[in-house]
């Protein structure tokens, strides 16, 4: 991981906020499974499992709430 | 994906906000399973699985919270 | 679906807000499984599955948060 | 169900708020499984299933968030 | 249960707030499974099941949100 | 556990806030499974189970919401 991959919750646009939410969701996996090799090996498995795709989408949704609030909803 | 599919969280009506929440839930799946062909193949499976239908509805509910707040609840 | 089944998040009473939350939870299922016939066929199955009943209750709870906030908690 | 089982989200104490959250969680089940007889039949099953006990506790937690906010956290 | 085990959501410190969140998560189980004997019997089972440990941690997280807000984040 | 592992929800940076969220998620497991030996024994199992990795990421996301709010989103 880069030394500081999360300098700020501010993003220029909602779309960038959504992308940051995706990053946060992945980092939340990486803190438990710290090996990039293992994560790469596991990825194909859950990318075809709709239960896990929906669960991943949910984690992104929770982080997007936080980021949207941090950006005052880009109003 | 269109270049900027999320220009704003503002919508004209609550119903459009609900539709945007649905879009966000689907995009959250698409960032993990990036192949539209695979997503189309998987769809019939989970569309008949009530567990997954409820889980999808939950992701929409979380995004709808965000969008409703962004629109000051359309008051 | 009626053209605009969600004209507003405002309801006269908390109870009507709870009923609207239930409607939103069901619409979240209907956007993925768009066939009313299939939804009717699936219903008896999950109505006897306590795991799914609890999961449905959770989706309602999330929408109720949104609706309660939209109504300033009916204060 | 009584005609209006949810006249208000206000409660005198946090404990009564927690009890109301429990009621809301159960009502969220009852709107899907409308038969009290079936619900009574299903209860012993999930009351011994820790997965479902935890899931039920989670639904209560979400409703308690709403009720606590509605009561300005009983400050 | 003590007559009033939840006199207030205010705690002196964040750590006490986390402990209160844990109590609330357990009470949410106890309202469904009311027998302390059965709960004690079930505990060893889920204490070794990581799925359920994570799910329990999630319920605590939701209650901690409520308690942290009630204490203005102990600022 | 150290006597007071949670002196404050304030952190200097968003990244430190994310790390604190991870700590909170783990403490939420540790209050149920109090034995560090058992937790160490269980870890390899769920670190290869993508369902549980995603679930862990979700608990972190919920705590991160709380911590971000406590820090006024590091604005």
Q: Which of A14, A54, A69 sits opposite B55 (nearest CB)?
A: A54
Distance between CA atoms of residues B24 and B68, nearest Å: 13
F-chain residue closest to A55, CA distance: F54
pLDDT digit string (tens) for A7-66? 999 999 999 999 999 999 999 999 999 999 999 999 888 899 999 999 999 999 999 999
Residue F45 pLDDT class (50, 70, 90 cuts):
confident
**CA–CA min distance D3, chain C (Å):** 9
Q: How far is D52 from chain E (nearest CA, A)?
A: 9
pLDDT category of residue B62 using cuts at 50, 70 and 90: very high
Distance CA F20, CA A25 (A): 15
Mean pLDDT, to the nearest integer, of B12-31? 98
Nearest Cα of chain A lies from the Cα of F1 at a distance, in angstroms, of 19
User: Is E74 buried (19+), middle (13-18) or exposed (0-12) by CB count in 10 A?
Assistant: buried
| Cα B49 to chain centroid, rounded | 18
- Reduced to 3 states (helix: H, G, I; strand: E, B; else coil), residue D35 is coil
Rounded CA-CA distance E71/C64 in Å is 23
From the list C61, C65, C69, the residue facing D25 with the nearest CB is C61
Could you give the CA distance from residue F58 to residue B21 in angstroms, rounded to a whole number? 19
Using the predicted structure, report yes or no on whether residue A1 has a pLDDT greater than 60.
no
Q: What is the DSSP string of B16-65?
A: HHHHHHHHHHHHHHHTTS--HHHHHHHHHHHHT-HHHHHHHHHHHHHHHH
Distance (Å, rounded) from C-alpha E50 to C-alpha E55?
8
Q: Looking at the predicted structure, is the pLDDT value of residue F44 above 90?
A: no
Comparing A11 with D43, the larger pLDDT belongs to A11
Question: Which chains lie within 8 Å of chain D at 3 or more CB pairs, if any?
Answer: C, E
CB D53 within 8 A of CB D46: yes
Judge whether residue E2 has pLDDT over 70. Answer: no
Instruction: Write down the ipTM of this complex.
Output: 0.95
Among residues 27-66 of chain D, which lie with CB inside 8 Å of chain C? 27-29, 31-33, 38, 42, 45-46, 49, 51-52, 55-56, 58-59, 62-63, 65-66
Q: Do C54 and D7 touch (CB under 8 A)?
A: no
Provide the pLDDT confidence category of residue F2 given band limits of 50, 70 and 90.
low
Report which DSSP code applies to E46. H
């Amino acid at each position: 991981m880069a030394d500081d991959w999360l300098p700020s919750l501010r993003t220029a646009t909602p779309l960038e906020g959504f992308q940051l939410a995706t990053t946060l969701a992945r980092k939340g996996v990486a803190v438990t499974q710290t090996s990039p090799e293992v994560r790469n090996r596991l990825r194909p498995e859950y990318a075809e499992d709709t239960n896990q795709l929906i669960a991943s989408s949910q984690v992104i949704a929770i982080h997007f709430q936080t980021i949207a609030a941090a950006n005052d909803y880009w109003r």
